[in-house]
Amino acid sequence: MNIGIAGTGRMGSAIAQRLLECGHAVTVWNRTPEKTRAAQAAGARLAGSAAELAIGAETLITILTNATAIDLVYRSPQGLLAGEVKGKLFIEMSTVRPEAERALAAEIAAKGAQIVECPVGGTVGPAREGKLLGLAGADDAAFERAKPLLDQMCRRVERCGPVGAGATMKLAVNLPLIVFWEAFGEAMALVRPLGFDAARLVELFTDTAGGANVLKNRAALVAKALAGEDTGPATFDLDSMRKDLRTMLEEARSRGFELPAAASVLVAFDQAAAAGQGGIDGVRIPAYVVTRSAAD
């Protein structure tokens, strides 16, 4: 299939490499041109603009930071929707509020094209291996058309309802995940005087009712971080988590309720970012919380 990917950040690059490996012809475009290099090295072609990308591809995939990025990539004069896109399929995978996906879906439908929103769980590694968790929102026809491709990107695709439902589910899935990193760090601060070795502590917590799946999946890296060792480049960093927390809080407030746990973690993470920690991966957050607590 002829696929265009607009947005080759961490996730977009990994997805491009995965789809090339699956045998698709992939063309990419990114606002910052240098970030297309990894995808190009893996065999992707480069488009001169998002509009050119959309004209040349049958299916367009976007995975971008936020609603502002969606606005620029789709709606600018050289954006994805600038040219004739009738009959094309758009798969929008960013983590944003449902209203952003619904507004985009209406514009895409008005142009005679189809859309599936499919924000994902899982980070760069699962994206590279086609093992994401897809949380889709779409009408029947668009979903059926997108499903074979989604199955190449995801270990599981859960159709949550019409467009907007996937975004709602994605924000919900990330809430306990993000709160967990802070909560686990606070737990580590509590047990610090016991003097346990980091690997033993993490292993013990993975065997408790409070040990989240993410701890089980990333135990070795969390233990390394707690032991003060290097854990490699960040995949899902603290600044991205702050963005997701703000998005959850906006969504809840627009519907008339509060999210006290998410709100207090955002305060803690804003302070961490102000202290220069915005780029750290989730696996390093517990170690940061222990250091922060020791300094209090």
Ligand X SMILES: NC(=O)c1ccc[n+]([C@@H]2O[C@H](COP(=O)([O-])OP(=O)(O)OC[C@H]3O[C@@H](n4cnc5c(N)ncnc54)[C@H](OP(=O)(O)O)[C@@H]3O)[C@@H](O)[C@H]2O)c1
Binding site for ligand X (CB under 6 A): 7-12, 30-32, 35, 63-65, 68-69, 72-73, 94-95, 120, 123-124, 235-236, 240, 244
* Least distance to ligand X, CB of residue 250, Å: 14
Residues 6+ apart with CB under 8 A from 165: 98, 137
Coil, helix or strand for 97? coil
135 bridge partner residues: 158
- 122 Cα distance to chain centroid: 7
Cβ proximity to ligand X, 27 vs 30, nearer residue: 30
Q: Which is nearer to ligand X, 10 or 218 (CB)?
A: 10
Minimum Å gap between C-beta 13 and ligand X is 8
Q: Which is nearer to ligand X, 187 or 242 (CB)?
A: 242
Taking the complex as a whole, the smallest distance from the CB of residue 244 to ligand X amounts, in Å, to 6
At its nearest, how many Å lie between ligand X and the CB of residue 20? 17
CA–CA gap between residue 167 and residue 94 (Å, rounded): 8
The residue nearest ligand X at its CB is: 9
Min CB(77)–ligand X separation in Å: 13
- Residues 120/151/59/146 CA torsion (nearest 10 deg): -90
Structure tokens given for 87: 């009959």
3-class secondary-structure state, position 219:
helix
* Closer CB to ligand X, 7 or 166, in the complex: 7
Contact indicator for 15, 63 with CB cutoff of 8 Å: yes
Which CB sits closer to ligand X, 32 or 208? 32
Task: For the chain, give the number of residues.
Answer: 296
